[in-house]
Chain A
Amino acid sequence: MVSSVVDVRSVWRTLDRRTVADIALVCAADALVGLSFGAITVSGGLPAWLPVALSVLVFAGGAQFAAVGAVLAGGGAASGVVAGLILNARLLPFGVAVADVLGSRWPARLLGAHLVVDESVAFTIRQDDPERRRAAFWLTGASLFVVWNLAVVGAALAGRVLRDTDAIGLDAAFPAVLLALVLPTLTGRSRRPAALGAILAVAATTVLPPGLPVLVSLLGLVLVPRRSRAAPS
């Protein structure tokens, strides 16, 4: 499906080997998280179609865990949906930021929108050249979609393969991956807004529901005066 809207061969030619290897590693880490998502859901007594449907149709790990967690905790489906939607609100500014890579053709725009996730955005904004931005976005988004869903299907069928990902430190792997991807893009211009935004976001977690504090970090961009960000990278 993806091969019909982007030229797969040109993706391979465009990206350097290290970027491709990094994308593969992120897919492997997310596969473990997908395995745990499927396992937690079915071993909690929920039907096997549920984790699979959520993974294909929602395709956002944090929101999927939040939705299933709310249901398993007895909170009801509505609270799970609301928690998931709040967590995914950041995908709106992310979609605006990477919209240029999706081009002007409708199939690519509509299909590509579904592949806007933290990792695909992080790999995209590391690249300056438009061709490489495009290639990084599609390769990350499409391979994550395939790997994530295969992992969830596998775990939903197999049952309890991997439940406690905290024991192997996977909860530290997610911020570590994003940190490694985003640090090189922190230029003189964005460093101070990002630092202030991170402090405000962490402070906001004490009062706001999960998902909203991340959006609070955008205040860093508003509050730091533009001229103090003018330093060239």
Chain B
Amino acid sequence: MSWTAVLVLAAGTYGFRVVGPLLRHRISVPARVQQLLTDAATVLLVGLVATSALTEGHDFAGWARPAGVLVALALVLCRASLPVVVVAAAGTTALLRLLGVA
């Protein structure tokens, strides 16, 4: 991988990031639209959770990872703190793998 490839990826990525901050101050955004944008970010993050918990490329990620995320979900609903949630999720997945569950 050359410097050119790194710079193209970096420039493209920065391009995606900077569109919002650049356009934002040319137009005034009503509160309703800001609410819609926040909802869009929420929907995207939930989509990211679902795809990263369940899939790897085009395939199912195996049972160990979604099992860990399911434990995380239960703990979040019980209002557990973030360290507990993260350690329990990773621990469940690691333990399942240790036991031979992919």
Residues in chain A within 8 A of chain B (CB atoms): 18, 21-22, 25-26, 29, 46, 50, 53-54, 57-60, 63, 67-68, 71, 77-78, 80-81, 84-85, 88-100, 102, 104, 109-110, 112-114, 116, 118, 121-122, 125, 166-183, 185-186, 189-190, 193-195, 197-202, 205-207, 210, 213-218, 220-221
Contacts and interface: CB of A to CB of B under 8 A. Distances in A.
A205 B72 CA distance: 23
A169 B91 contact: yes
Interface residues of B, number: 71
A53 B46 CA distance: 30
Given A121-B41, A166-B97, A216-B47, A63 B24 contact: no
Given A125-B38, A206-B58, A118 B23 contact: no
Contact of B39 (A88, A173, A177, A190): A190
Interface string B30-51: 0000111111111111111111
B34 to A, nearest CB: 6
Interface string B5-29: 1111110111011111111110001
Contacts of A207: 58
Interface of B: 1-10, 12-14, 16-25, 29, 34-55, 57-58, 61, 64-65, 67-69, 72-73, 76-77, 81-83, 85-86, 89-95, 97
A202 B5 contact: no
B68 A185 contact: no
Contacts of A25: 82-83, 86
Contacts of A186: 42, 46
A81 B47 contact: no
Contacts of B2: 77
Nearest to B61: A171
A193 B39 contact: yes
A202 B25 contact: no
Nearest to B94: A169
B85 A180 contact: yes
Contact of A220 (B16, B43, B91): B43
Contact of B68 (A50, A89, A169, A198): A169
